[in-house]
Amino acid sequence: MRDKNRYISIVAFAAVLILILTNSLSILVSAYTNPTPPSVSNADAYCLYDKTHQKMIVSENIDKQVNTSTSAKIISGLIACENLENRRDDVISITSEMLEGVSGYNMKLTESEKISIDDLLYAAICGSYNDAYYVLAYICAGSINDFVSLMNLKAYDLGAAYTTYTNPIGYPDNAAMITTASDTLKIALAASDNALFMEICSATSHRIKATNKSEERTVYNRNALISSSSGTNYHNSKCRGMNAGYSGEAGGWSVITLAQDDGADYICIVLGGKENEDGSQVYAYKAVNTLVNWACSTYNLYNVFPVGKQMGTTKIKLSGVTGNDAPYITADALDVYIPTDATYDIELSYNILLDSKFFTAPIDAGSKVGVVRVHCNGEIVGECELILKDGYETNGIMLAIDTLGEYTKSRAFISTVVCFVILLVAFIIYSKSHSSMHSKRKHYVRK
């Protein structure tokens, strides 16, 4: 019985020791349950990606190759913005070569018409006009074929290895142009980082100045998530820009958008979406709204620590402060983006990682000493710097003692001691030898 109690005591002590050494503490103790995403139907592939925290939330068939014009228009618009951002005020004259091969939805640009690059960017990226895309492609690369090469090279550089383009708009060569939701996500992420592209694709409308061939006119955003000009009820105030469109029977409906919540930005992609028989219901739009609204209502910011919360103490050498009595605090409020709906139980834990076992005076208040990391179900979901609450000056006596201590460990001190010992031994040997010779002389004189 005594041995059993001793064994239990040893195990308990070891557990406490491990907890202290790892600085790991539980915040909320309960089982973590992953939220179940809503089901999405009538689409070939889709995904919802948390851009802020670089985490896939929902995905289905993301590596399946599908046909879509939407991906082509996003990468065309991105390339145009990157190449023409500093030429927005330039006015160009439309040529017949620029319009060659244009089909589908267009704004009826004509040969010799003069229009600014800024208006062309809005006509293409906001209004989704095919002829505007062709003109921009020609301005960027000098020919449509060369621009298509830029599109495919850009896709390759972004890691979209299973994507192929044959024209700037993805129409009408639907069967020839393929992509995947995974590739489209990489392209959408790059586009979302371009401020000009996001400004234009998020605009609900744009007034195009009068030209030598037409009067002033307004283009409206054809993305029903952004604008209600189409008369549909898919508008979502959390969504910003990107593109939506129909690629015919081969590609169906595709909707790509950036959605913003208080704690995260999401990229939502639905490819190969269907519609009902009379075309009154576009399921791709409904799927995007379902996924975005679910994520925004399920995931929220949760405050783990306020700014300035004391998290522990550490040792400051040469300060005169005894023990580990220097407090460190959180540099900022630590908020994590997790499921906070009452339906889901969560377990949070945190661990403290200090940069050193001790710090040395002089050191200022606010100096970084480490970080605190928060985990949810074993996954890091947040991190915050830890800083000293107070500053510490060097204590003169402690500095002298430390300097002396460091000197006694130095090579110079050790060499000095060795030399001293050698000299001392030599002196002792010499003294004994000299004393012996002196005694012999005395003995000789007496004889």
DSSP class of residue 136 equals H
Runs of H (alpha helix) within 217-366: 248-251, 283-298
Q: Which two three-digit tokens encode residue 31?
A: 């089982």
Q: State the DSSP string of 259-318.
A: EE-SS-EEEEEEEEE-B-TTS--BHHHHHHHHHHHHHHHHEEEEEEE-TT-EEEEEEEET
Q: What is the CATH number of domain 45-273?
A: 3.40.710.10
Q: How far apart are CA 223 and CA 216, in angstroms?
A: 22
| Distant-in-sequence, close-in-space partners of 197: CB < 8 Å, separation ≥ 6 | 77, 78, 81, 125, 191, 241
Q: Which of 121, 173, 167 is nearest to 144 (CA)?
A: 167
The pLDDT, as a whole number, for residue 171 is 82
The pLDDT, as a whole number, for residue 400 is 63
Torsion of CA 51, 148, 89, 195, to 10 degrees: 0
- What angle, rounded to 10 degrees, do the helices at 396-408 and 411-446 form? 60
The pLDDT, as a whole number, for residue 21 is 40
The pLDDT, as a whole number, for residue 277 is 75
The pLDDT, as a whole number, for residue 394 is 84
Contact assessment for residue 40 and residue 60, using Cβ atoms and an 8 Å cutoff: yes
The pLDDT, as a whole number, for residue 67 is 86
The pLDDT, as a whole number, for residue 369 is 95
Q: Which of 139, 172, 179 is nearest to 155 (CA)?
A: 179
Contact assessment for residue 386 and residue 331, using Cβ atoms and an 8 Å cutoff: yes
Domain borders along the chain are 45-273, 410-446
The pLDDT, as a whole number, for residue 19 is 42
Q: Which two three-digit tokens encode residue 149?
A: 């090469």
The pLDDT, as a whole number, for residue 226 is 94
The pLDDT, as a whole number, for residue 13 is 43
Contact assessment for residue 99 and residue 134, using Cβ atoms and an 8 Å cutoff: yes
Tell me the torsion sign for CA atoms 191, 193, 196, 202.
positive
The pLDDT, as a whole number, for residue 343 is 61
- Per-residue pLDDT tens, the chain, 447 aa: give them: 555 455 444 444 444 344 434 454 544 433 445 688 898 999 999 999 999 989 999 999 999 999 888 999 999 999 999 999 999 999 999 999 999 989 889 999 999 999 999 999 999 999 999 999 999 999 999 999 999 999 999 999 999 999 999 999 988 776 788 999 999 999 999 999 999 999 999 999 999 999 998 899 999 999 999 988 766 789 999 999 999 988 877 778 999 999 999 889 999 999 999 988 777 889 999 999 999 999 999 988 889 999 999 999 998 888 766 655 899 999 999 998 888 765 666 778 899 999 999 898 899 999 999 999 999 877 888 899 999 999 998 876 665 655 555 556 666 656 666 677 777 777 777 777 766 665 655 555 554
Bridge-based pairing state of the strands 310-317 and 358-360: parallel
